[in-house]
Amino acid sequence: AKQVFSFQEGNAQMKQLLGGKGAHLAEMTRSGLPVPPGFTLSTAACLSYFKEGNVLSETLWGETLSALESLESARGQRLGDPVNPLLVSVRSGSVTSMPGMMDTILNLGLNDETVQGLSQQTGNARFAYDCYRRLLQMFGNVVLGIQGHYFEKIFNQLKQKEGVTQDQDVSLEGLQQLIPDFKRCIQAQTGRVFPENVQEQLRLATEAVFQSWNNARAQIYRKINRIPDSQGTAVNIQSMVFGNMGMDCGTGVVFTRNPSTGASELFGEYLINAQGEDVVAGARTPQPVASLRNEMPEVYEELVSVANRLEQHYKDMQDIEFTVEKGQLFILQTRNGKRNAQAAVTIAVNLVKEGIITREDALLRIEASHLDRLLHRGIDESAVTEVFATGLPASPGAAVGQIVFDAEIAMEWSQAGKKVVLARPETTPEDIQGVLVSEGIVTCRGGMTSHAAVVARGMGKPCVCGCEEIKIDEEQKQMSVGSRIVKEGDWVTIEGASGRVILGEIPLREAEISEELSEILNWADSIRKLKVRANADNPHDARMAKQFGAQGIGLCRTEHMFFSPTRLPVVQKMILADNVEERALALEQLLPMQQADFEEMFGEMNGLPVTIRLLDPPLHEFLPKEKELQKKLDELRHNPIENDKEQKAILALIRKVNALEEVNPMLGQRGCRLGIVYPEIYEMQVEAIFRAASRCLENGIKITLEIMVPLVGHVNELITLRTMIDKVAKQVLGESSEGQEVPYQVGTMIEVPRAALTAGQIAPYADFFSFGTNDLTQMTYGYSRDDAEGKFLTHYQDQKILPNNPFQVLDPDGVGLLIEWAVTAGRSIKPTIKTGICGEHGGDKESIFFCHRSGLDYVSCSPFRLPLARIAAAQAAI
């Protein structure tokens, strides 16, 4: 097949074959824009070059030379012609744009002979030698692998000798001297001589650009952006135009809109008397494009009109490279411009308003996973001086505070009005109060779905997890990375979106939902089919959820209400009770507390559905750790004061804690198993729920109540608990005046594989299924969520054994199959059964797409993920 295409043959649709740069150069050529002529060696050519073991085949080289011949006759010049030499650039260009990651060589075709020709043709010897020294630098660097600083050192010595600072002020004689110096440098560094033969230059440059596909930075960029390694790069060979011929020449880059604010204004920079590389390299400070209007008014007008045309043509903001040669404008590249999350939203909305794209187009262009960056505070990047450590970007947003290493100190300090950041080796549920009062969280161990991360995300609290390089010394109250030490009370800033822990107080920027974002969210709401609910455990989160567009609460975890400092002791008393009476007493104390919580939640949601899940975790999570009790005991023993009674109490406590301890708590006494073995706990919760509902109704608040039973594996579990719920409901409501009606539904979580498999048996007793995909993933894969990430999951992803972390992206083939099976089985028995998911996956774009495809009724996610979920659900429906 044909491997080389002239710019006249290609078009934008041929991006796979020609790469982005080549396809768009061709498209611009076809639409009559001033593009210097050239041709493209296809990505397929690149792949066969790799396949042959980095050998350029004779056919490819033959095609290249004949394309070159056509170019030569079009330009009336020849590569290597001593009188009128053609110069070309050899440019990389991949399918997915990877700005600056691969290599390009300019001014190719110069040698000791042709430099004379160029000089005579243009009547500008200084310019000719400037091009020549640039070629030696780029060729030396890209093709021969010499580090740039060798050349810069020689160049700087020359500038010093001439007493100038700017490249363009170096004299002709100086440049002429530089050529042999650079050549000697090449020989000294590589033992090779710079090829005077221009065809050899072209061949080596082409191969080097192919090979730049595999340089380290390109590989890393592909990994981060999930670009397949198998694409390869095209090579564009293009006749040169010169921005470095004098003061009526220049080069620059413009964006058709502002890429950081989205404002509709031409945005960019240029340099007079320079070549393209100078703008990015930073050797000279470029000027803002606005001043081109005065310096070259005609060029500016034309640039504005080209920019408009390109934007209209591609219907998106463009990033355009241009060069001006003797007052004449040339376009060298266009691509959809990269932009930050805020700009992306603003630009999409404006393009709709300007009639360039539809609402659907606009929605499809929003990168949903970037949205949460808009809802969290950010840091002022210019103030960042020292990054202390980097971990996993577990929960976005920025936080500033004084570092503490202990949840209790976090509470003390925050009560005293201090802002704290809590750093822990890892977090346990006991730390949750510390988490609650902290501005942000840092952990040394644990992954993106570790407890700390999930909790922090749920609260919208910045969190950096798995910061393995940090060593925390709890005794000394300090943490260190190598020899750098941070002590309790020192100020730190954490930036959760990038996973950085930064020393000092960095100024923050406030977050808000911009007008444009709320507009685009409204469009999404009118398109999506999936309903969107929030996981919220307290009135504050419920309020946030409503503000971010929740259509109900999909998961209210009642155990989170047990962790507050006033309640935990009562909860512990309840758990440690020696007999039913003692337990009943503690439960009696808890009941009004829970009831108050529920009343507040109902009040907040006023008629929107609220799904309340009965107690789920194993009881020992509410108790102190044995290790800590032992420590206390040791302290008491060292204490000379009589404290026998206290010691005995702790010993008793240790026995209880030991008795409740399980080898494998995740698969142990939790969820409905707990509710069946200790019925009085669930009874108390259900009673509190109905008392709250009935009270709210009396006060004119609307109620849509859904009670959810966790961890059902066998239908009998649900039957037992449903009977209990109905009984308690009747009791509570019967007590109230004239037998009040509280409509309620009872449903179950589907999170044990057996429940999914027997969904048809469960459905008659369930009004809804809520897929708890965290546990369902854990049990389907047989991966312990708390261990997998630190141990083998990352390895699995690196080795590409798994495409994704299944705790982040729902596994459609396995876990997904169970969900689809359960939905189908459930609906065949009870067509009206409501279905949704409430795991972490509810806030993940790909997982939301899956839920849409499988016809679920809703997804439920943490409040901060709601905008993402609304947009992703709309994208799935388009």
What are the start-end ranges of the H helices in 416-512? 432-437, 451-459
Site track for Mg ion across 757-776, x = CB under 5 A: ---------------x--x-
332 binds ligand ADP per the rule CB under 6 A: yes
Does 385 carry a binding-site annotation? no
Q: Which stretch binds ligand ADP (CB under 6 A): 234-242, 518-526, 602-610, 698-706?
A: 234-242
Residues 596-609, buried b or exposed e (16+ Cβ, 10 A)? bbbbbbbbbbeebb
Of 406, 686, 433, the C-alpha closest to 563 is 433
Q: Is 252 annotated as a binding residue?
A: no
Flag whether 773 is marked binding: yes
Select the span of 25-33, 237-245, 354-362, 563-571 touching ligand ADP (CB under 6 A): 237-245
Smaller CB distance to Mg ion: residue 204 or 709? Answer: 709
Polymer length of the chain? 878
The one of ligand ADP, Mg ion, none whose footprint includes residue 36, by CB under 5 to 8 A per kind, is ligand ADP
Identify which range of 159-167, 223-231, 236-244, 545-553 contacts ligand ADP by CB under 6 A: 236-244
Half-sphere exposure of 791 (CA within 13 A, CB side): 6
Query: Is 294 assigned to a binding site?
Result: no
Tokens 């600056």 correspond to what residue? 100
Residues 6 or more apart in contact with residue 664 via CB below 8 angstroms? none
Q: Give the SS3 label for residue 388.
A: strand
Alpha helices in 639-752 (DSSP H): 644-660, 672-677, 679-698, 715-735
CB contact at 8 A, 84 and 72: no
Is residue 72 a contact point for ligand ADP (CB under 6 A)? no
Residue 726 is assigned to a ligand binding site: no
- What separation, in Å, do the N-terminal and C-terminal C-alpha atoms of the chain show? 37
The catalytically annotated residue of 24, 376, 451, 852 is 451
- Range in contact with ligand ADP (rule: CB under 6 A) among 44-52, 235-243, 359-367, 851-859: 235-243
- Is 131 considered catalytic here? no
Is 133 annotated to bind a ligand? Reply is no
The candidate with the shortest Cα–Cα distance to 745, out of 862, 857, 591, 587, is 857
Identify the residue among 42, 323, 558, 777 touching ligand ADP (CB under 6 A). Answer: 323
Residues in contact with ligand ADP, counted by CB under 6 A, come to a total of 15
Residue 427 CB, nearest approach to Mg ion (Å): 18
Can you tell me which residue has the tokens 């790799």?
A: 50
d(CA 31, CA 313): 10
List 46, 696, 838, 861, catalytic entry: 838
**Which of 212, 238, 774, 777: binder of ligand ADP (CB under 6 A)?**
238
Instruction: Give the tokens for residue 444.
Output: 């040394």
Shortest distance, position 96 Cβ to ligand ADP, whole Å:
12
CA dist 56 and 565 (Å) reads 72
Q: How far is the CB of 100 from Mg ion (least distance, A)?
A: 8
CA angle 62, 68, 71 (to 5 degrees): 150
In the window 5-24, what residues touch ligand ADP (CB under 6 A)? none
CA-closest candidate to residue 460, choices 380, 397, 522, 549: 397
Q: How far is the CB of 173 from ligand ADP (least distance, A)?
A: 26
Matching residue, tokens 């008393």:
573
The piece of 238-246, 735-743, 853-861, 866-874 that touches ligand ADP (CB under 6 A) is 238-246
Question: What DSSP designation does 243 have?
Answer: S
The residues pairing with 502 across neighbouring beta strands, listed in sequence order, are 387, 493
Q: Is the distance from CB of 561 to CB of 594 less than 8 angstroms?
A: yes
Indicate if 838 belongs to the active site: yes
89 makes contact, choosing from Mg ion, ligand ADP, none, with CB < 5 to 8 Å by partner type, with ligand ADP
212 binds, among Mg ion, ligand ADP, none (CB under 5 to 8 A by kind): none
Q: Of these partners, Mg ion, ligand ADP, none, which one is at the site of residue 775 (CB under 5 to 8 Å by kind)?
A: Mg ion
Distance of alpha carbon 348 from alpha carbon 262, whole angstroms: 9
Between residue 322 and residue 341, which ones bind Mg ion under the rule CB under 5 A? 333
Which partner, ligand ADP, Mg ion, none, binds residue 609 by CB below 5 to 8 Å per kind? none
Q: Residue 140 has what DSSP assignment?
A: I
Minimum CB separation from ligand ADP for residue 283, in Å? 13
Site for ligand ADP in 90-109 (CB under 6 A): 91, 100, 104, 106
CB 728, CB 793: distance < 8 Å: no
Confirm or deny that 293 is annotated as ligand binding.
no
List interacting residues with Mg ion (CB under 5 A): 333, 751, 772, 775
**Binding-site residue positions for Mg(2+):** 751, 775
List interacting residues with ligand ADP (CB under 6 A): 36, 89, 91, 100, 104, 106, 238, 240-241, 276-277, 321, 323, 332-333
**Binding-site residue positions for substrate:** 557, 613, 751, 772-775
As annotated, the active-site residues are 451, 838
